[in-house]
Chains A and B, each alone.
Chain A
Amino acid sequence: MNPRPLAVWVAAVLLLSLGSEDPILRVLTLGAALAVLLVHRRVGTRVRPALWAVAIAALLTVVFNFLLSHTGRTVLLNLPGWVPAFGGPLTLEGAAYGLDLALGLAACILAGISLSLVVEPHRLVDSLPAGLSRTGAALGAAITLVPRLGRSFVAVRETQQMRGWRPRGMRSWTAVVVPSVLTTIEGSVLLAEAMEARAFGSGPRTSLRPSKFRIRDVVITATSLAAMAGFLLALVLAQVPSWQPYPSLILPQLTWWPMLCCLALFAPALVP
């Protein structure tokens, strides 16, 4: 996939998932992000670690909102007041709002990750205007950090397991997570050094193969722009539903116009 239309699509996903708190729209946006990632992921890339990371981030969002909001009429549980921060009523509304936030967060992260897992980093670099080529190369290198972190995590977990480490509760994972992050950071410094040593930033860059724009790219760009324009217009005309679970949980409304905009985001997953 050409990175330029993908970047437009990512912008559309971000706008639609952040522009409304309606859970239906967020579910649709998340579905589109997931579909595009699964359909267009590059051969050889591992999506599962990314999905696990997103799932964990989403779960933490729900849990923390549930524990910290203390707002809403449907009280599920009362924690004693002496428990710092978490003490007080824990409500269904708090959990529902946490879930809504998690949906938006997951859609945004998945869309962002697709830049790394769908497009090759060098094509991102190539797709930028000549004036931004240095920024682009740095961006391309930064994007390789995501799979690098994944590889590092697997390598560290394996070696630590062979040295006798066993996962026993959340705290024990620091023996894997901290070294993985450290190794990745160390790798980033080495990469920066290597880029410097390979004349990066020494003058204007050229490219072996500039990116081409195909019909599929036109379709993706057009549908993404249409989705953004339609959604913005709906916002201006107050056609985008506002959903608030507080003080009492209410069901979200079905509003066809913004829903159609969200459905347009599935286009990249449908074009071959």
Chain B
Amino acid sequence: MADALLPGALRASPGALSELALFQDFCYRYPETKVPALDQISFPLERGLTILGGPSGSGKTTLLRSLNGLVPHFHGGQVRGRAWILGHDLRTTSTRRLSREVAMVFQEPESQFVMATVRREVAFGPENLGLPAAEIGDRVEDALRAMGILNLADRWIATLSGGQRQRVALAASLAMRPRILVLDEPTSQLDDSGADSLRRECQALAGRGLAVVVAEHRPWRVDSTGSQRLELSHGSLLAEAPAKSGPGTLPRGTARPVGSPAWQLRDLSVGHQQAVATGIDLECRQGEVLCLTGINGSGKTTLLRTVAGLLPPLSGSVNRRPGRRAYLPQEAGSVLHQASLVEEVSQTIRWLRLECRPGPVLEELQLTDVASFDPRDLSTGQRQRAALAAVLVGSPEMVFLDEPTRGADQTSRVLLLRILERLATEGAAILVATSDSQFARQLGDRVLELDSGHLREPGERAA
């Protein structure tokens, strides 16, 4: 397509062209940074499904933000090169204008909620489009049904689990009925059924001629036939995207000896006022790794927090042996506040009076290069690793991690696996709540499933 003809042609008859967006030598640098976040990006965005890959910090989120103009209009910074979105010049078209046709789901869905209830949240976008009430209602119903959360329509968002919130955010973007749908790590907290629903919906939307762009560390969860693959590395698009692949396997450590019980649960009921799980009898021994799975909203976080001592049990007992507990919440942001990553880890060392230095754990999680960075300037995947470094430094006796693979690329998952294997070998009792079933199978000595308020044990991992 001739460069000079492109914008006008797209604007005149957008339906006639297969490209919904075109980037040509597009470069972008965030304010007050020296390294470009995007460097010489050139590609046409075709109708259908496009999967954007690349390690944490490679520029995926920045590229997604440029599709609806948040980069550069909201974030500022410097732009070079050209980009046209639906025939509009990105440099001169505001996000408000583009967002009427380009919907985006952010990496941290909980940060994008404006309204208090699910139905109203999903209606927020269509309301902004000025649609009649009846049409808004229809769109809301359709979007909730597509994401399998019609039963949550009148629930308060504050009462939902992380995975349920992710579904709400996805439904809210679907209700906008955009021409380009941009999803940033949409399955990071979804259980397998949620990921399946999303994959089907992406396929259906792509079939209807939309462009669906998904940045995803586990592309097989959303991939379908005919999808386009793009791979980013250090802000540049690789000439050839890697071949499609399945989940593969993560390296597994050798079987470990287990010690005496680190904690025991007896006839435990957990919940906030109302029980979400009851009759739980469980123990975890030193050196043992338990993974807790279950569908979104099954109570994984509530159980984990109760065992960690952050929530009182509704009934029954939790007996923990004395010792240091390390806890990683679902939102890594609540861990990271210091001006640099090395200070963040040093803070834990000071508070716990540990006799160690921050260097080894940063090296173990491959964060040495960014040790002097402000944690808030890191990518989501790096932030997740940074939070892990801050809570796992030293040798905690009990470890409680809530969705630790959220936003993690394959490298981060391998690093996480290694550090947890090391801690378990040193005798730590580890409990991980995760909707990442592959990770749970690879890591857990035992994988437990919370199902309809009860804990089930499908089987023990082979030694």
Contact = CB atoms under 8 A, between A and B. Distances in A.
Contacts of B176: 198-199
A216 B246 CA distance: 60
A155 to B, nearest CB: 4
B17 interface: no
Interface stretch (A19-27, A57-65, A186-194, A240-248): A186-194
Given A152-B334, A162-B391, A183-B333, A205 B112 contact: no
Contacts of A179: 334, 337
A257 interface: no
With most chain A CB atoms within 10 A of its CB, the pick from B95, B97, B347 is B95
Given A140-B114, A158-B310, A197 B132 contact: no
Nearest to A46: B158
B114 A141 contact: yes
Interface residues of B, number: 60
A130 to B, nearest CB: 10
A163 to B, nearest CB: 5
Contacts of B159: 44
B351 A186 contact: no
B289 to A, nearest CB: 19
B327 A162 contact: yes
A164 interface: yes
A203 B129 contact: yes
Contacts of A186: 333, 376
A159 interface: yes
> How big is the A interface, by class?
35 or more
A202 B333 CA distance: 30
Contacts of B347: 163
B100 A199 contact: yes
Interface in B359-417: 376, 390-391
A182 interface: yes
Given A183-B334, A198-B103, A208 B119 contact: yes
B224 interface: no
A134 B376 CA distance: 30
With most chain B CB atoms within 10 A of its CB, the pick from A43, A44, A147, A166 is A44
Interface in A175-189: 178-179, 182-183, 186-187
Contacts of A109: none
A199 B99 contact: yes
B136 interface: yes
A235 interface: no
Contact of A121 (B115, B329, B391): B115
B333 A199 contact: no
Contacts of A199: 96, 99-100, 125, 128-129, 176
A204 interface: yes
B71 to A, nearest CB: 10
A66 B187 CA distance: 57
A173 to B, nearest CB: 14
Interface string B153-184: 00010110000000000001000100000000
Contacts of B350: 164
B236 interface: no
Given A155-B329, A158-B310, A159-B334, A198 B128 contact: yes
B114 A144 contact: yes
Contacts of A121: 114-116
A122 interface: yes
B33 to A, nearest CB: 17
Interface in A184-235: 186-187, 190-210
B390 A202 contact: no
A195 B337 CA distance: 25
With most chain B CB atoms within 10 A of its CB, the pick from A194, A200, A204 is A194
A33 to B, nearest CB: 22
B124 A198 contact: yes
Contacts of B124: 122, 198, 200
Given A144-B116, A205-B130, A206-B127, 5 more contacts: A159-B329, A162-B326, A191-B112, A198-B124, A199-B99
21 contacts: A120-B116, A122-B124, A151-B158, A155-B331, A158-B334, A159-B329, A162-B308, A165-B351, A179-B337, A190-B106, A191-B111, A193-B70, A193-B74, A194-B112, A196-B70, A199-B99, A202-B96, A204-B130, A205-B127, A208-B119, A208-B126
